[in-house]
Structure 1
Amino acid sequence: MKTWHFIGILLPLLGCSHGSPAENEAQTQRTNNEPIIMNESPEQFQEMAVPNSNQKQEQHQQRKSEALLNVPLIKQNPELKYGCEVTSLAMMLKYAGADTDKMKLFKEIKKDNDPLKRSANGDILSWGNPVEGFVGDMTGKRAGYAVFDKPMIDLINRYLPGRAVNLTGKDFDAVLDHVSAGYPAVVWTTGDYRLPNRWESWTHGNEVIKTPLDLHAVVLVGFNETTVYLNDPLSGRKQVPVNKTRFIETWKAMQSRAVSYR
């Protein structure tokens, strides 16, 4: 039985290179109680084991009700049309004090170089697998796609040895706990932070990869009761406010992918 991977696609005119946040979202106002500003990340964060519901509840009770991290903003354009993942990673690593930038990460991230093959009418027949490495051309000179959490974790450990944390597949509360402790996270969403509604599929070896058309990666830098705050490398906006409930729904639809460090 073949395994289906539900992932987001970056076609030549879509994904990280297109579909910036909706204009009405830009007008969203923060609550009257401004989030706590954290200018420096903590030196240490101990992840808590959560073998039962009582311990999980205790952990979440320790989370701040609101937080906002002063993560530096880096724009992916014009150099990296499809480079939302490595640009978001550059923001996070800069905040952690690592000596790197988006172009270094662009060169260092693992690539899946399987070529793009199309049918006569332009449909994608086969391409690479973003689980294994970045698919396509990140610069936009040719079609570009995406990369997922495992190659990103490898890069985090290169700059912060032994400190990478893969939050993929966990509950969003675990991601909020991490940000509350002072650690931003790279999260996968869509270009307008809404549920994906257009899909593409192709083969990769013996697998069939089914993908929504609008994949994007941003840095989760803060939250409060109703809102999450994002550094968006495509729109070039810092601490973008987005409805928390809506964002979580989209994040789950994109297979709950997130990476960070401790």
Structure 2
Amino acid sequence: MHKFAAGSAVAACLFLCSCAATVTLPKTYAAVETAATPESAAMGLVLPQTDAAIPAWPALAALQSTPESALFLLSTVQLDVENIPQNPELPNGCEITSADIVLNYLGFDIDKVTLAEKYLLLHIPYWEADPEVEFMGSPADELSFYCLPGAITTAVNNYLSGQGSACRATDITGAKPAELEAYLAHGTPVLMWATRAFTAPLYNYTFTLADGSWPYANSHCLVLTGYDEDNYYFADPMQEVTAIDRDTFTLRYEQLGSHAVVITS
């Protein structure tokens, strides 16, 4: 069961926690007489008087007094996601390794190399590839490039289908940072595209993609695992970044096209 680390405040109304996640509710909230309403009493909501992990949905419902209007986004979320390094096997495999990080978090037993070799569509030579459909080269080759959400959702969904799982990868490109936070608050880590170490975008000017644009030279995919008032937090397969300030995150995320993927049931 996934756990959240709740901050000292419950922030704006954005998302309904309806899964089996838990939230650590601080004493300052647990002591509030919020479970005394008829609606909460009917649900059997009794909040503990000490810091404790309790089901997130009824906790937030009780804080709002009625289940129907329990739309809260926690001010601090940190999912317990274990990082997996892409090197040395996949020097250009940040995208498929990030997918493997999330799949392992969800309880699937699959390694990054198997996921790359059996499920990721590759196109060689890389300069003729469509990164939305396939990986530009091979993630095991240092002289390769990258792929985008379409290629990753196809790979992950092919794997999940083979496992008979109801989970599916979904391309949520265009989602705003607040929407990414909502997924995190729901217990769902997010694969997102930025640049390595969130530096300024760099381009390779030796060839163009099918749409006429220059390919990125420092595109990077990593897993968004948490946030607070100041920073976003990550599992980075390059092991370069664990946190970045909110403004820099938003800038690089949007510069790289606001590409993101989630795996949900």
Q: Distance in 1 between matches of 2:8 and 2:118?
A: 38
Q: Which runs of 5+ in 1 are unaligned?
A: 1-32, 36-40, 45-57, 117-125
1:89 Cα shift?
Answer: 0.8
1:102 Cα shift?
Answer: 0.3
Greater mean alpha carbon deviation, residues 130-139 or residues 148-157: 148-157
| Percent of aligned pairs with the same amino acid | 25
Q: Which has the larger share of strand? A: 1
Change (3 A) 1:169 1:244: same
In the alignment, which residue of structure 2 is the partner of 1:93? 103
Q: Secondary structure of 1:78's match?
A: coil
Q: Secondary structure of 2:247's match?
A: helix
In the alignment, which residue of structure 1 is the partner of 2:131? 130
CA contact (8 A) 1:68 1:223 kept: yes
Structure number, greater radius of gyration:
2
Q: Which runs of 5+ in 2 are unaligned?
A: 1-6, 10-17, 22-67
1:129 Cα shift?
Answer: 1.6
The residue correspondences of 1:162-181 to structure 2 (distance < 5 A) are 162-181=167-186
1:143 Cα shift?
Answer: 1.3
TM-score, normalized by length of structure 1?
0.68
| Matched AA of 1:74 | I
CA contact (8 A) 1:187 1:259 kept: yes
- Residue 231 of structure 1 is aligned with which of 232, 235, 245? 235
1:197 Cα shift?
Answer: 4.3
In the alignment, which residue of structure 1 is the partner of 2:120? 110
In the alignment, which residue of structure 1 is the partner of 2:72? 62
Q: Distance in 2 between matches of 1:151 and 1:59?
A: 38
Greater mean alpha carbon deviation, residues 81-90 or residues 207-216: 207-216
CA contact (8 A) 1:93 1:100 kept: yes
Q: Distance in 2 between matches of 1:191 and 1:174?
A: 22
In the alignment, which residue of structure 2 is the partner of 1:76? 86
In the alignment, which residue of structure 1 is the partner of 2:65? none
Match status 1:148 vs 2:158: no
TM-score, normalized by length of structure 2?
0.67
1:236 Cα shift?
Answer: 6.5
Q: Distance in 2 between matches of 1:185 and 1:63?
A: 16
Q: Please, what is the CA RMSD of the aligned residues?
A: 2.9
1:60 Cα shift?
Answer: 11
| Matched AA of 2:151 | P
Residue correspondences, number: 200
CA contact (8 A) 2:8 2:75 kept: no
Deviations 1:227-260 (A, max 9, x none): 00011111276xx121111111100000001111
Match status 1:254 vs 2:256: yes
Change (3 A) 1:98 1:249: same
CA contact (8 A) 2:223 2:234 kept: yes
- Following TM superposition, the consecutive aligned residue runs of length 4 or more in structure 1 with deviations greater than 4 angstroms are 41-44, 58-61
Q: Distance in 1 between matches of 2:69 and 2:228?
A: 17
1:109 Cα shift?
Answer: 3.4
